[in-house]
Homo-oligomer: A and B are copies of this chain.
């Protein structure tokens, strides 16, 4: 059985990384991220690209976690606290009671990531996806439909934000991602790596149901309101999702799922 380390004092320096979780969501964590919930920890300790630093469980949650705890490396401490101590650490009622701290690796350059993908590859490219729910949901869909990587511009939010990881059900820890500075740079990197880019747009030239998958295909998505920059749309092949003309409104993550389901095989 795994050794559990009891924490009785919310100010214990060993669990400092868990303190004031919400406030630190906003200012960042200097090379760390918070993984939350059993489903996410399951990915963190089975299929993640990232290493964990520690685990913190509420005492009543230990019982259901045996299988996951068996996969936690020996050198990663597992802390246990009562509900009251846990709430005092986190700074709000932590109903879930299952947390871990992970270590971010140095972010890879988009060009380097694309270069090492297989000859047949599906990539999701994001411009201006600023909402963490959408980011998490796009990663979930990317993992479900076997996308090899996600690339994004600087206007897209952090996939390792606590809520984005949670909404992704851990996919943000699994699917490799990298950032380019602008959407134009991202498109350049994709073209140099021989990707055919399909820009998804309500006014796309071709129905996604008719789109043909090339060996290396990238699906380019923009934010729901503004969409993709016109200058980019003008020079790339574009696809649309056919829908009712009087209610042509899909969430961007939902649109990614429909398009990836059409492209993945």
Task: Tell me the A residues contacting B by CB distance below 8 Å.
Answer: 47, 137, 140-141, 143-146, 169, 171, 174, 241-244, 246-251, 253-254, 257-258, 261, 264-265
Q: Are A140 and B251 touching (Cβ within 8 A)?
A: yes
- For the complex formed by this chain, how many copies does it contain in all? 2
Q: Of all chain B residues, which has the CB nearest A174? A: B247
Closest 9 CB pairs of A and B: A143-B247, A144-B243, A254-B257, A146-B244, A258-B261, A169-B249, A144-B250, A144-B247, A258-B258
Contact of A254 among B47, B146, B244, B253 (CB under 8 A): B253
* A254–B141 CB distance below 8 A: yes
Among B242, B244, B248, B258, the residue within 8 A (CB) of A257 is B258
Give A145 to B258 CA distance when docked, in angstroms: 12
A46: min CB distance to chain B, Å: 9
Inside 8 A of A248's CB, which chain B residues have their CB? 144
The residue from B137, B247, B261 contacting A171, defined by CB atoms under 8 A apart: B247
Known: A144-B243, A241-B261. 5 other contacts (CB 8 A): A140-B250, A146-B244, A169-B249, A250-B257, A254-B254
| CB nearest neighbor in B for A248 | B144
A161–B37 CA distance with the chains assembled, in angstroms: 27
Which residue on B lies nearest to A250, using beta carbons? B144
Q: Chain B residues near A254 (CB, 8 Å)?
A: 137, 140-141, 253-254, 257
- For A249, list chain B residues within 8 Å (CB): 140, 143-144, 169, 171
Complex CA–CA separation, A258 to B256 (angstroms): 10
